[in-house]
Amino acid sequence: MENSTPWLLKIFFLLTIILGYSSSSASSSWLHPLASSSMAEHRNYTAISDFRVLNRRKLLKCDDPNPYLKISVDPNSSLTNEEYLTVTVSGVLLPSSSDWVAMISPSSSNVTDCPLSEAYYAQTGDLSDLPLLCQYPVKAQYVKNDPDYLNCTKKDCQESVLGKCVVATCSGSLTFHVINVRTNIEFVFFAGGFDTPCILTRSNPLDFTNPNMPLYGHLSSIDSTAKSMRLTWVSGDEKPQQVQYGDGMSQNSVVTTFTQDDMCSSSTLPSPAKDFGWHDRGFIHTAVMTGLQPSSNFSYKYGSDSVGWSNQIQFKTPPDAGSDKLYFIAYGDMGKAPLDSSVEHYIQILNALGLPCENGPNLGELTPGSVSVIKAVTDEVNSVNVDSIFHIGDISYATGFLVEWDFFLELINPVASQVAYMTAIGNHERDYVDSGSVYLTPDSGGECGVAYETYFPMPTSAKDKPWYSIEQASVHFTIISTEHNWSVNSEQYLWMEEDMGSVNRSKTPWLIFMGHRPMYTSSNADTSVDPQFVNAVEPLLLQYKVDLVLFGHVHNYERTCAVYQGECKAMPTKDANGVDTYNNSNYSAPVQAVIGMAGFSLDKFTTDSNSWSLSRISEFGFVRGNATKEELYFEFVNANTRNVGDSFRIMK
């Protein structure tokens, strides 16, 4: 474990944390200031679950001499790329509601107590007494998820005397959704719940049939011609592979990866990405498919004869700059949720009503936000000619738990493999102390943008400069990083000036500005809006006549009037169908919208006094935009009902 902190300083820091949380009345002033600011941020944007703070619980010794206890997995053969495994705990003498099973990866993980690593756990947003595991479980479930477990419906006789059973044991079965994460996995049976856990027994390791399989391919645009598309995928093999596409065309992949040494850390606040959150990240392959045509359909597959090939996939190129019609989808703050009844670190499980599910979702009735949104977007992509998708920050919420990137890539694969999936960086991809980020909160868990930029290469100018622009049909998209320096005369500020100042409005009449942190919100504005960012960048929006501004970070949907410096410069009028219509033939100011409602815990609106706020919806969903050279038409779509909750248009 890498740690440059002198032992005396480390012990002092650990004592500071323990003292700060030794009682419920402890003041945050006891905390290291970085941990304190991290907690404030996580309280705003993270629903902390018992499982998420597991690594701050002391690992107890199980006093259980039970000779009958065992844990088994079906199927117990080599695993395919996606499996629903049945994990059965049997031989239990006294079933308890606090019994639980964790999936760990790799199976060689050190499932032991790591008391000297306590400083690492400050990054996850909550602090307790002691860490539990040197390796964080991928996911976990209480055995009581099996309704037959606690009442011992399924009994096995272990000992008989004169034909009469004198020792009977109970069993329970759980379903785990497992994807190919390249390393083998193992299941561990715990007693004591998440608060006072102890290890009872472990399963045998399970291997994936093909840990090198090429998986999770996703597309992105590289320029505004739409004649080339980048495909990115993950494999356990570092040798170059190939994408075969169109009519006999092919391109070899460029292979990259990253290591624990590439993760950020601090001498006073080490990161989970360097320690317990690290996981095999795979080898990331990228290949650019050239010789394409805009607004056209092609097919492709990727891989190699030695490691295997993906299925044949159909995809659509976006329209080129200057053409007329564009149909795109946009959202922020998605993350991912389990497709079983597991709880997972950092991901808040929510049902269709936006309420917490105690032990994971009942997918037959209630669907987590990210799952319902991606299902709705998938249906949209499969039924309508969607040209591209824009995901503006807080992508996977892996935050130093690297295996979460695999689960996120698997979640979005149905849409990201078919159309360009364009992204912007958010605080949970980039922020970390002493890393060059504007904000000091350790929200990336030590990833510092490395994982994000590797898994999602965008048409940026250089590494760790995640701002870019792209033109599709009649729209010029300017996409910035709110986490990098945007102050007046900074490199990014000068780039924004040059980019927006060079837009040919006769070719692309619409200018849409995107980033992560908002300028306007009616939800906890004191902590969600940075006045310095607004003061520096908002004048550029007015100067270059930006038509629409889209931000995330706040987890709901909100639309403004044509607003500048907190004042409505123009109000929309109703068209014949009752749709709010902004007339930009006499430009006054940008319309701004928050669209951070794609999956993470929804935010309530905390004030109703903002005159610039015209529409507010706290539901999971996405925004769809239709652009022609004459108008922009937008709709908020509720992912659960598919109803349009808000619509507006901007006219030239």
**Helix and strand tally (H, E) in the chain?**
9, 33
Quote the CA–CA distance of 624 and 631 in Å, as a whole number.
Answer: 14
pLDDT score recorded for residue 123: 55
Picking from 174, 105, 181, 97, the residue whose alpha carbon sits closest to that of residue 141 is 174
pLDDT score recorded for residue 133: 61
Higher pLDDT, 272 or 157: 157
Q: What does the DSSP assignment read for 34-69?
A: HHHHHHHHHHHH----TGGGGGGSPPBPP----SS-
- Beta strands 613-617 and 557-564 are antiparallel
Please, what's the b/e burial string for 208-220 (b: 16 or more CB within 10 A of its CB; e: otherwise)? bebbbbbbbbbbb
For 174-213, the pLDDT digits (tens) are: 999 999 999 999 999 999 988 788 889 999 999 999 999 9
Protein fold of 318-358+366-651: Purple Acid Phosphatase; chain A, domain 2 (3.60.21)
pLDDT score recorded for residue 274: 84
- Other CB atoms within 10 A of residue 190 CB: 27
For 545-573, the pLDDT digits (tens) are: 999 999 999 999 999 999 999 999 999 99
Cβ atoms of 172 and 189 closer than 8 Å: no
pLDDT score recorded for residue 50: 66
| pLDDT band per the 50, 70, 90 thresholds, residue 370 | very high
Cα–Cα–Cα angle for 308, 310, 314, nearest 5°? 155
| pLDDT band per the 50, 70, 90 thresholds, residue 276 | confident
Q: What is the three-state SS of 524-593?
A: CHHHHCCHHHHHHHHHHHHHCCCCEEEECCCCCEEEEEEEECCEEEECCEECCCCCEEEEHHHCCCCEEE
Instruction: Classify residue 574 as exposed, middle or buried by CB count within 10 Å of its CB (0-12, 13-18, 19+).
Output: exposed
Cβ atoms of 397 and 195 closer than 8 Å: no
Edge-to-edge strand ranges of the sheet holding 155-161: 70-74, 82-92, 164-179, 155-161
Quote the CA–CA distance of 15 and 30 in Å, as a whole number.
Answer: 10
**Per-residue pLDDT at 126 exceeds 90:** no
Residues contacting 506, CB < 8 A, separation 6+:
none
Quote the CA–CA distance of 464 and 442 in Å, as a whole number.
Answer: 17
Picking from 422, 442, 118, the residue whose alpha carbon sits closest to that of residue 273 is 442
Length of the chain counted residue by residue = 652
Picking from 49, 47, 96, the residue whose alpha carbon sits closest to that of residue 343 is 49
Picking from 282, 106, 133, the residue whose alpha carbon sits closest to that of residue 205 is 106
What is the rounded average pLDDT of the residues 445-461? 96
Q: Average model confidence (pLDDT) for the chain?
A: 87
**Per-residue pLDDT at 588 exceeds 90:** yes
pLDDT score recorded for residue 190: 93
What is the rounded average pLDDT of the residues 47-65? 67
**Per-residue pLDDT at 32 exceeds 80:** no
| pLDDT band per the 50, 70, 90 thresholds, residue 344 | confident
pLDDT score recorded for residue 21: 30
Quote the CA–CA distance of 145 and 172 in Å, as a whole number.
Answer: 9
Cβ atoms of 57 and 195 closer than 8 Å: yes
Quote the CA–CA distance of 128 and 20 in Å, as a whole number.
Answer: 9
Considering the entire predicted model, what is its pTM? 0.89
Higher pLDDT, 138 or 11: 138
Q: How far is CA 627 from CA 173, 221, 390, 538, 560, in A?
A: 51, 18, 15, 24, 19
For 591-600, the pLDDT digits (tens) are: 999 999 999 8
**Per-residue pLDDT at 16 exceeds 70:** no
pLDDT score recorded for residue 31: 35
What is the rounded average pLDDT of the residues 318-340? 96
Cβ atoms of 99 and 174 closer than 8 Å: no
Picking from 370, 371, 484, 372, the residue whose alpha carbon sits closest to that of residue 426 is 484
- Beta strands 186-191 and 242-245 are unpaired
Residues 17, 441, 116, 274, Cα dihedral to 10°: 170
Edge-to-edge strand ranges of the sheet holding 573-574: 254-256, 283-289, 229-235, 215-221, 420-424, 388-392, 326-331, 621-627, 631-638, 644-651, 580-583, 573-574
| pLDDT band per the 50, 70, 90 thresholds, residue 351 | very low
pLDDT score recorded for residue 122: 55
- Other CB atoms within 10 A of residue 154 CB: 15
Picking from 78, 107, 91, 101, the residue whose alpha carbon sits closest to that of residue 174 is 101
Q: In the chain, list all ranges with CATH 3.60.21.10.
A: 318-358+366-651
| pLDDT band per the 50, 70, 90 thresholds, residue 633 | very high
Cβ atoms of 555 and 601 closer than 8 Å: yes
pLDDT score recorded for residue 120: 56
**Helix, strand, coil share (%) of the chain residues, nearest 5:** 20, 30, 50
Cα–Cα–Cα angle for 469, 473, 475, nearest 5°? 50
**Per-residue pLDDT at 110 exceeds 70:** no
Higher pLDDT, 344 or 58: 344
Place of tokens 């419920």: 24
* 467 sits in which H/E element: none
For 478-494, the pLDDT digits (tens) are: 999 999 999 999 999 99
Quote the CA–CA distance of 138 and 161 in Å, as a whole number.
Answer: 43
Cβ atoms of 169 and 51 closer than 8 Å: no
Cβ atoms of 217 and 233 closer than 8 Å: yes
For 371-408, the pLDDT digits (tens) are: 999 999 999 999 989 999 999 999 999 988 899 999 99
Quote the CA–CA distance of 514 and 521 in Å, as a whole number.
Answer: 15
- Other CB atoms within 10 A of residue 501 CB: 10
pLDDT score recorded for residue 563: 98
| pLDDT band per the 50, 70, 90 thresholds, residue 322 | very high
Cβ atoms of 558 and 646 closer than 8 Å: no
pLDDT score recorded for residue 65: 84
Cβ atoms of 392 and 516 closer than 8 Å: yes
SS3 state of residue 223: coil
